[in-house]
Structure 1
């Protein structure tokens, strides 16, 4: 019987399977949060989440919003979207992210990713 270390195909297969298990475990452990946009404000001022979590940003106003961040921990721009639409962001790095609306500069919140 050959050992794992001497059979490169078997070794590669085992590594691939273990990697898949780890990725699935991380995805299973991740949570999803919702931060609504209503009355030209975010529904929360601060949100604490973990690396791998997702935040959805539903637009509940009768006008467009454009959620974005220029924070080094997560740079994103969801573009303009209308009432009833929701866009999501996965936070894959720890840090403090300032989130704003490009259309309504008074809209501002922080997401703390641990």
Structure 2
């Protein structure tokens, strides 16, 4: 029976490539961000995230909010929800998303998805 021999340099190259892939995958792990609604405002005016990240929108006001976006990169409507409730959105493609509150038109922010 013949044994297969792999050149030592090739073996080190394969290990280096696999290690690099593992390290890089950790750098781009999806994350979750929080943008609260407080005093009829979003707690962030601009938020930069990556494709696949999630943003939660907790309501910290004593009244209802309705978070939505009509931006082509991400259209969503979280519906009306009260203080203490949180709703989340996963951003699955790049672009700039304007987020607003349907109840309080002065509430506006941007999410930049890279």
**TM-score normalised according to structure 1 size:** 0.76
Superposed displacement of residue 84, structure 1: 0.0
Counterpart residue number, 1:66: 66
Counterpart residue number, 1:96: 96
Q: Which runs of 5+ in 2 are unaligned?
A: 1-24
- The CA distance in 1 between the partners of 2:102 and 2:30, in whole Å, is 28
Larger helix proportion of the pair: 1
List, as ranges, runs of 4+ consecutive aligned residues in structure 1 with deviation greater than 3 Å: none
Counterpart residue number, 1:47: 47
Q: Which runs of 5+ in 1 are unaligned?
A: 1-24
Higher alpha-carbon Rg:
2
Counterpart residue number, 1:34: 34
Superposed displacement of residue 29, structure 1: 1.1
| Secondary structure of 1:44's aligned partner | coil
- Size of the aligned set, in residue pairs, is 89
- The CA distance in 1 between the partners of 2:91 and 2:44, in whole Å, is 17
**TM-align CA RMSD:** 1.4
